[in-house]
Amino acid sequence: MARTGSVASPSLVGRRGTLAIATTAVGLSASLGRPLIVQGGVPVTSDTLHAIDATFLRVEHDGAHMHVGGVLLCGGEPPTCSELARAVEGRLDQIPRFRQRLLIDRLGIAYPRWVDDTNFDIGYHVRVTALPSPGGEPELRTLVGRLFSQPLDRSRPLWELWLVEGCSGGGFALVSKMHHCLVDGIASANVATVLFDAQPVPADDERPRRAWRARPAPARRMTALETAGELIGGPLSLVRKTLPALRQPREFLSRSRTVAGGLGDFLVAGLTPAPPSRYNVPLTSHRRFTWVGCDLDEVKTIKNAFGVTLNDVVLAAVAGALRRHLRRSGEEVAGRQLKAMVPVNVRTELDGADSGNRITTLFTTLPIGMAHPVDRVEAVAASMRRLKASNQVLGANTLATVMDAVTPRAVGPIADLLSSPRTFNITITNIPGPQFGLYVLGRELREIVPMVPLAGGHALGIAVFSYKGRLSFGLLADYLAVPDLELLADDLRAALGELATAAAGWREDEVTLRGEAIRPRAARAPAFKGASGRGGRRTRSRGGSSKQPAAVSHPR
């Protein structure tokens, strides 16, 4: 069985070359709390949203749009919109949610549920647009920002796929939008593996296909009965999960203490106020979007040099970029930290298909006050190790379970608190994608750039996605609050360059990190396109003190 957060390998490719992803594959194919992708188009769980799903509906107000998205850069001549629509529609039996809309309880005492859209029209969801001349990357970035500025229509299935023509130099782009109550990052990545092919020329699919027929929406009386059942069933489900543990009192008490401690860790982390920043202001409905890409192997070289994780490198690079960006706008950063919200997939192999993909949020710090890139990566790595050693994940997962057992009205204040700018400054999500190529009607899918939505009071979000040896950073910002988003992208390139330079100069006799001597993996820094600024080389004694040579200037 696949690991949590993993993706399917080419060995899972079906007859058409698409990925035959079963709902039991861990870390794959699920919406938040409910399976999204199913094999053979057979739903296997209740159509009612989980509490976490529903929170993304609640916090969608005052300029906050809760759709995730992506920009897919493709080679070759673009297909026609009708060709793309037919190809997508032919695979919707594996994604039944794409033909369903939300039925929302007006009283607010039950969670929304998915029902078939009796007026489903593929032409509404698959659309075409074109870039103005000269059709370069600046024009594409502007167009994508405008598309991401438009909320999805809640009376219809909550997704759109835009075909973008008129790209200079050949090729085309696809822009996807899916509501966060429908998918999380892992699920949205795997939607692509279902809609597109793992081979340039897919083989014929000999499976019989049934014409799709919408099920009629439930009658109002039936809806009321289901609502009553859910009001009773939620608490009863929590009791059923607890009763077996009571048969072993000692283990139950020990586990209870661990869970209580984890819940306390999570609440303390969540309730610790985030510092004020220029990124935490009221939102407009308008967005800017840009991206930064680099080779995944280059980032792995940095990771290996310092003995940290790839996610540590990502967070350290973002911290360096924000430091530069804030200094440029005249802000003092010495001694400052920002608080980042990091979504985490908490599903394990013990979770069955009915549990779906469980996601929660953790909070960590970004050391923007540290001038040297090595200090930043060490601080980030230490913070993440403490986070993993704590029981925050267990506490957050426990809170999600409790939220499922109570009514939306009871969950509302929790959702408001967790999405507040008082709780965190910025969202940073790192999504593992497939490391093999995908094809759109025979055209190569060259790069996938992710997008994470902005909650109210959060003017900047950064999503990271790995695909086929490429690591792409997608930067989404409020149009008015961050008018210099392209400069922040330059700052991110520079921060990656700083880390690469520092990693290249990291010698075994200069540092002991986490009690282990670290040997550099490269003789010189990897090249990051557009990177500027010098990381500098410094030495560090075994005792932990550091000296900065006078001839080396600190980066901004």
Q: Stretch 499-513: mean pLDDT, rounded?
A: 66
The answer, yes or no, to whether residue 547 has pLDDT greater than 80, is no
Q: Stretch 271-300: mean pLDDT, rounded?
A: 95
The answer, yes or no, to whether residue 216 has pLDDT greater than 90, is no
> Are 99 and 214 within 8 A, CB to CB?
yes
**Most confidently predicted of 145-154, 398-407, 505-514:** 145-154
pLDDT tier, 169 (very low <50, low <70, confident <90, very high otherwise):
confident
Query: What is the secondary structure of 46-92 as a DSSP string?
Result: -SBPPHHHHHHHHT--TT---EEEEEEEE-SSPPPHHHHHHHHHTTG
Q: How many CB atoms lie within 10 A of CB 380?
A: 27
Cβ neighbours of residue 476 closer than 8 Å, sequence gap 6 or more: 148, 287, 288, 289, 451, 452, 453, 454, 460, 461, 462, 463
Q: Stretch 33-39: mean pLDDT, rounded?
A: 40
**Most confidently predicted of 41-45, 139-143, 228-232, 342-346:** 139-143
The answer, yes or no, to whether residue 187 has pLDDT greater than 80, is no
213-217, 301-305, 475-479: the lowest-pLDDT one: 213-217
- Give pLDDT, residue 50: 83
Above pLDDT 70, what percent of the chain? 70
Pick from 373, 352, 336, 393: which is nearest to 494 by CA? 373
End-to-end CA distance of the chain: give it in Å, rounded.
Answer: 46
DSSP 96: G
Alpha helices of 243-309 — where are they, by DSSP H? 249-271, 296-306
What's the Cα-to-Cα distance from 112 to each of 101, 104, 216, 408, rounded to whole Å? Answer: 10, 4, 16, 9
Q: Stretch 149-158: mean pLDDT, rounded?
A: 97
pLDDT tier, 205 (very low <50, low <70, confident <90, very high otherwise):
low
- Give pLDDT, residue 166: 96
Q: Which residue has the tokens 């809760």?
A: 66
> Are 404 and 240 within 8 A, CB to CB?
no
Q: Stretch 36-61: mean pLDDT, rounded?
A: 69
- Give pLDDT, residue 229: 59
Q: Stretch 375-389: mean pLDDT, rounded?
A: 92
Taking only Cα atoms into account, the Rg of the chain, rounded to an integer number of angstroms, comes to 24
Above pLDDT 90, what percent of the chain? 52
Q: Stretch 535-549: mean pLDDT, rounded?
A: 36
Record: fold of 10-204+219-223: Chloramphenicol Acetyltransferase (3.30.559)
Q: Is 183 helix (H, G, I), strand (E, B) or coil?
A: coil
Q: Are strands 159-165 and 126-130 parallel, antiparallel or unpaired?
A: parallel
Q: Stretch 337-348: mean pLDDT, rounded?
A: 80
- C-alpha 222/C-alpha 218 separation (Å) is 6
Q: Is 463 helix (H, G, I), strand (E, B) or coil?
A: strand
Q: Is 84 helix (H, G, I), strand (E, B) or coil?
A: helix
Cβ neighbours of residue 352 closer than 8 Å, sequence gap 6 or more: 24
| Amino acid symbol at 282 | P
**Residue 134 preceded by cis peptide, ω within 30:** yes
- C-alpha 3/C-alpha 235 separation (Å) is 31
Active-site residues, by number, are: 180
Q: Stretch 467-494: mean pLDDT, rounded?
A: 98
- Give pLDDT, residue 551: 29
pTM: 0.79
- Give pLDDT, residue 238: 56
The answer, yes or no, to whether residue 120 has pLDDT greater than 90, is yes
Q: Is 15 helix (H, G, I), strand (E, B) or coil?
A: coil
Question: In this predicted model, which residue has the larger pLDDT, 213 or 254?
Answer: 213
Residue boundaries of the structural domains of the chain: 10-204+219-223, 263-429+481-547
- C-alpha 421/C-alpha 102 separation (Å) is 28
The answer, yes or no, to whether residue 31 has pLDDT greater than 50, is no
The answer, yes or no, to whether residue 204 has pLDDT greater than 70, is no
